Structure 1
């Protein structure tokens, strides 16, 4: 890892919130592309998934989701359950940020894509009794749209359409469908 990227990770712990935000934003930008240093931070990020600090949990989930494309050993397949737990975090904002990023794991390969889609579909189907379930469902539909936009797999679109059709409230059905317009 180069010094600049290393400083981003160090600045995540800075007392200056602006410096933290800049570091966070830069790490997300850098990890949108494949990097050769993923395993230098992988284990620490995995530990952060259960950190008492919700910011660390959220960042770890987002960074690991992005780093899945830089994971030739396919560690994400084994570590996915820990990552998935964060999308059900007790802090809704943490859960939501994690959910909004998890689709990127599907860019890492066919196994990862299948795993992400299966989990997203299951989450959509089982969250209806939860507080904020319409936001969760919206994010899932957006995740599927984002993944579809990158891999152009018509099965993903069809799964999303099938999920949208299961929504009984026409207001939310229209809202979910708006993602695909």
Structure 2
């Protein structure tokens, strides 16, 4: 890992919140593409998934989701369940940020895509007892849209439209459908 990237990870722990925010943004920007340093931080991030600090849990989930494309060893296939748990974090903002980024795991390959899509579908169908489930469902539909837009898989679009049809409340059915307008 180059010194600059290393400094970003160090600055995530800085006292200065602006410095933390800048570091977070720079790491996200770097992980839009494949990086050669994923395994240098992988285990640390995996450990952060269960840290008592919700900011660490959220950052770890978002970064690991983004690093899945830089995972030729396919560690994510084993680590996904720990990552998925953060999408159900007791702190809703942490759960939501994690869920909103988890679709990126599906960019890593067919096995990862299937794992992500199956998890999202199951959560949409069986998560109606969760607090804020309508927001969670919206995020799931948005995740499917994001994944579809990146890999151009029409099957994902079909799955999302079928999930929307399962929504019984017309208000939410309409809201979820707006995600797929112009698709």
In the TM superposition, 1:94-105 aligns within 5 A as 94-105=94-105
Report deviation, 1:48.
0.1
SS at match of 1:90: coil
Number of corresponding residues: 181
Q: TM-score, normalised by structure 2?
A: 0.98
Cα distance in structure 1, aligned partners of 2:118 and 2:31:
24
SS at match of 1:51: coil
Q: TM-score, normalised by structure 1?
A: 0.99
Cα distance in structure 1, aligned partners of 2:92 and 2:125:
18
**For each residue in 1:31-61, what CA deviation from the matched residue of structure 2 results, as whole angstroms up to 9, or x when unmatched?**
0100000000000000000000000000000
CA RMSD of aligned residues (A): 0.4
In the TM superposition, 1:25-174 aligns within 5 A as 25-174=25-174
SS at match of 2:119: helix
Cα distance in structure 2, aligned partners of 1:135 and 1:35:
32
Report whether the alignment pairs 1:20 with 2:26.
no
Report deviation, 1:63.
0.1
**For each residue in 1:74-111, what CA deviation from the matched residue of structure 2 results, as whole angstroms up to 9, or x when unmatched?**
00000000000000000000000000000000000000
Cα distance in structure 1, aligned partners of 2:162 and 2:156:
10
